[in-house]
Chains A and B, each alone.
Chain A
Amino acid sequence: MIHSLLAQTVIAYLLIFAVPMLLPVAFIKLVGLGGLRALVTYEASDTPLHRLDPRLKVLYPIGMGTLSILFSWKAMLIVFGLTILPWFWLRPSRAKIRVLMVMIIGPALAGFWGQGMYYLPPSPIHFLYKFPWTMAWLGSPGITSYGMIFGTEQTARVLVTVSTSMLILVSTDVSDFTWAFERFRAPPHVGFALTAALRFLPEMIARTTLVLRAVELRGYDMSRPRWHQFRRWPDYLKRVSRCVVLVTVPLLVGTLRGTTTMAMVADARGFGASKRRGSLRVHKTTAVDVWGYVILAALVVAAIVLNHLNIGARYYG
């Protein structure tokens, strides 16, 4: 039975669409708009990571991201491991951990699965499951072990930058970012744009949640069918699409009102009054900062040297 064309086709469809369908469900169930809000919200605390030199914090994701590109897969695993360690130091809230796990594991799974199906290694190809000819229109001959490994490698490289950026985002007050950018001679507008985005993104998400509630209170059905209620899914997707149109007006009106006020507040607080800005922050370099700079510099220099010596370097042939 399992060798029949029909069965093989059904299994192939399940394999292809299982992950793409699971990911949005996992996102909605485990993260949702509220979780997204938690993700971009700064958690005030007094850990060494919070006190670290903001300039080092800006350089850290850039440095580690560069390493993830330069190194071979095995060496990259060490880099990836290094980026995970500071999370234990930070000890984020449980809600944030849940969201972070979904945001990290989700793309990892997508990369792993997608490359497993669509990355074609040189022959001979070892298929974990070969798709029948009926699946040819999707452009994938099947799931390959090499493709999955390749997908894992690529995803891990991306996750190095994602993990380090997230770590910095949740442990750094946005005014510290602004301070660091100013020390790097970036225009004040760069810092202000980041400040505004990080401050008002959670507000925007909260507002969207409120308007979506209001739609339901007005009698609009936003209830999701169960996964096996296939006939109801097209109607659900249609309702969701229409809802996007419905909520646009109140969201737009509210946002425009908010940005006008915010612009006036920024003006009144003297933003743009001077080309240079002052700063409340006085950063005294600590031993932790020095060690941080030394480790980051050593890692980057070592990576470049090793790369030149062809040790742990990526193969581009």
Chain B
Amino acid sequence: MSPAVPDGQLHAEDVSFAYVGAARAALRHVHLGVAPGEVVLITGASGCGKSTLALTLCGLIPSRVHGELRGRVTFGGRPLSGLKPHEASQLVGMVFQNPNLQLITQTVQSEVAFGPENLALPQPEIAARVDECLDVTGMTGMRQASVVTLSGGQKQRTAIAATLAMRPRILVLDEPLSDLDPVGAQEVLGTLQRLARDGGTGVIIIEHRVDEVAPWADRVVLMDDGRVVLDQPPRGAWADRRPWLATGVGIPDMVRLAQAVPEPFGSVLPLSVADAADTVQDTWFPAALAAAAADRASGAGPPAGHPPRDSPPPVLSWEDVSVDFDGNRAVDGVTLAVNEGEWVALIGANGSGKSTLTGLTVGLGQPSSGVVRFRGKPVRPGKVFVHAAQVALLLQAADDMLFETTVRKELEFGFRFRARPEHPVLDVSEAIEFFGFGGQEEASPWELSQGGRQRLALAALLVGAPGVLVLDEPTTGQDADHMRAFLGLLDRLRARTSITIVTVTHDIRGLASRASRVVLLGAGRVRMDGPAGRVFAATGELDRWGVLAPPLGRLQSALLGPAAADVLLGVDELAAAVLAHRPDPAAAGRGAGALRP
């Protein structure tokens, strides 16, 4: 006999699941309970079973995804496995990762009405549900809009509204933020918190972006190899770092900082920038931070991004480039140069013109005016295959760049159509070794992990000997471990080849902070251009153009105000800087302002 389960509580009891033909179970003895109004963050490395757990919790396993299921999932004591999908979805609703694949109709309101219409509800009831769901997701003003015209955040909010229209008591969201910029992510998270707080809906968010979700969550669940290895309220979730380090899942920057500099934070483990700023406001931390910033300012060299007059010509340049699409200006008079060996990150909100600008470097698209040059020579629009030998553009959907049956053939692909380069960045055998494909040369690309396929696509581009690597959102949807591995790979690549890198990214914390120079685009124009520390210090300007600065940047700006002209973006770096300027314990008794030199 199972213990009594409170009404409205979702409960997984000793759930194990193995897909048909799989040698190993995807879920192993999972116990989990979610109450109404609770927000639960489930995280873990890729392949740890998070998405399988989501499908199980909403009843699509076993009704639509087949395999061997043990244990049971109940809602208010009622087993979900015996229910039809439409019955289960009125108890536990599921929002999938890609909003494009779950918006079935053409307008926002018809999408939200689709579920209630299927239930053959009377018209007034359907209308009431549509109004309510659009209101709670903040989409009322866009009810007549065509779904193809919506931004990523709006699409995801429409998908949430459509799921809510089934009136589920619990909402499960599988990586709802993966395709969103930080501002879009905050929109969605705000909506989810309102649902939980005002509507009493239980919310389960499966997400890699722990930093962004943790402040909104009531509980944090960490999974590893199909098991739940940690289930704690957020403030206690990182008290023991070992499970996080073992699984490779990222720890929020504020938590890492509090653990690296424990004294000013005391017993509080902050989850958000506001939390951290409030906690350290009246300690020695702000003064030490200010002293460290003053030190850096006095020793600062000339700003990056403006090479000396005698420097060699840029490897890539955009000269007063504008691009129009259907009468709309996507890029507006951009002048920008990327020098040999630089790592430049292009940041900006969705639709700011980043991808359009980088596409021009390989001849994708045509400037309405201005010129794009590679090593001084104009890039010819449409001649993509010619420019692909000079500039390697790795698309966000790296899977779409793989066409062959084996890893080796994939690397040789380009040479079937053009001569092998005389001086490649890496030749095929070097690429196999460098990217870790030794022993997998004859394996199908589709047998590799997602990270492996991305590495293969990158390797295949590099063997064509380009001088510049352009990466379009390369870390989207990746867990912290894969992201670290990818960034490490880029570091090693730069150390070995001195290749120039241009990155288009929303991943401000991971990727953009690593770049030697950051360019902020807003409404198709260059709004800021400089070292990452200086650009991310300008939180007001970033806000204005729809970009959220990384948490460490925001903390330093919050504590120092306008004095934060150059912020530190690494936790270790920041911790070392403030510890180096902490007050001398002996002098502390004589006043808080007594700082080490």
Contacts and interface: CB of A to CB of B under 8 A. Distances in A.
B574 to A, nearest CB: 38
B389 A219 contact: yes
Contacts of B364: 213
Given A202-B148, A218-B460, A219-B414, A279 B123 contact: yes
Interface string B364-403: 1000000000000000001111001100110101011111
B271 interface: no
Nearest to A271: B118
Contacts of A222: 384-385
Contacts of B250: none
Interface string A236-253: 000000000011011001
A278 B388 contact: no
Nearest to B103: A199
B137 interface: no
Given A44-B107, A274-B120, A280-B117, A267 B382 contact: no
Nearest to B124: A282
A199 B402 contact: no
Most buried by B among A210, A218, A249, A274: A218
A265 B116 contact: no
Contact of B395 (A217, A219, A258): A217
B65 to A, nearest CB: 8
A239 to B, nearest CB: 8
A280 B326 CA distance: 33
B148 A217 contact: no
Interface string B288-330: 0000000000000000000000000000000000000011000
A42 B146 contact: yes
Interface string A276-287: 111110100000
A95 B147 CA distance: 19
A199 B105 CA distance: 6
A269 B400 contact: no
B302 to A, nearest CB: 36
Nearest to A202: B148
B414 to A, nearest CB: 3
B151 interface: no
A90 interface: no
Interface string A281-302: 0100000000000000000000
Contact of B126 (A174, A217, A262, A278): A278
B403 A218 contact: yes
A271 to B, nearest CB: 5
A272 B414 CA distance: 48
Contact of A210 (B105, B120, B395): B395
A307 to B, nearest CB: 38
Interface stretch (B93-101, B529-537, B582-590): B93-101
Contact of B417 (A95, A211, A220, A272): A220
Interface in A180-220: 195-196, 198-199, 202-203, 207, 210-211, 213-220
Interface in B110-126: 110, 113-123, 125-126
Interface residues of A, number: 58
Interface in A64-112: 93-95
Contact of A268 (B93, B120, B362, B385): B93
A73 to B, nearest CB: 38
Contacts of A269: 86, 89, 104, 114-115, 118, 162-163, 166
Interface string A38-63: 00011110100000000000000000
A219 B100 contact: no
A221 to B, nearest CB: 5
B38 to A, nearest CB: 21
B93 to A, nearest CB: 7
A263 interface: yes
Given A250-B402, A261-B98, A268-B60, A196 B163 contact: no
A263 B115 CA distance: 13
A254 B118 contact: no
Contacts of B385: 216, 219-223
Given A217-B362, A218-B403, A218-B413, A277 B107 contact: no
Nearest to B122: A278
Contact of B104 (A202, A223, A254, A266): A266
A202 B100 CA distance: 11
Among B85, B327, B392: residue with most chain A CB under 10 A: B85
Contacts of A247: 403
A215 B316 CA distance: 23
Contacts of B418: 219, 221
A210 B60 contact: no
B127 interface: yes
Interface of A: 41-44, 46, 93-95, 173-175, 195-196, 198-199, 202-203, 207, 210-211, 213-223, 246-247, 249-250, 253-254, 258, 261-274, 276-280, 282
Interface of B: 58, 60, 63-65, 84-86, 88-90, 93-94, 96, 98, 100-107, 109-110, 113-123, 125-127, 130, 144-149, 162-163, 166, 326-327, 362, 364, 382-385, 388-389, 392-393, 395, 397, 399-403, 413-414, 417-418, 446, 460-461, 464
23 contacts: A44-B107, A195-B105, A198-B106, A199-B104, A214-B401, A217-B388, A217-B392, A218-B401, A219-B464, A220-B385, A222-B385, A250-B400, A261-B102, A264-B65, A265-B102, A265-B104, A268-B86, A268-B94, A273-B118, A274-B120, A278-B118, A278-B122, A280-B130
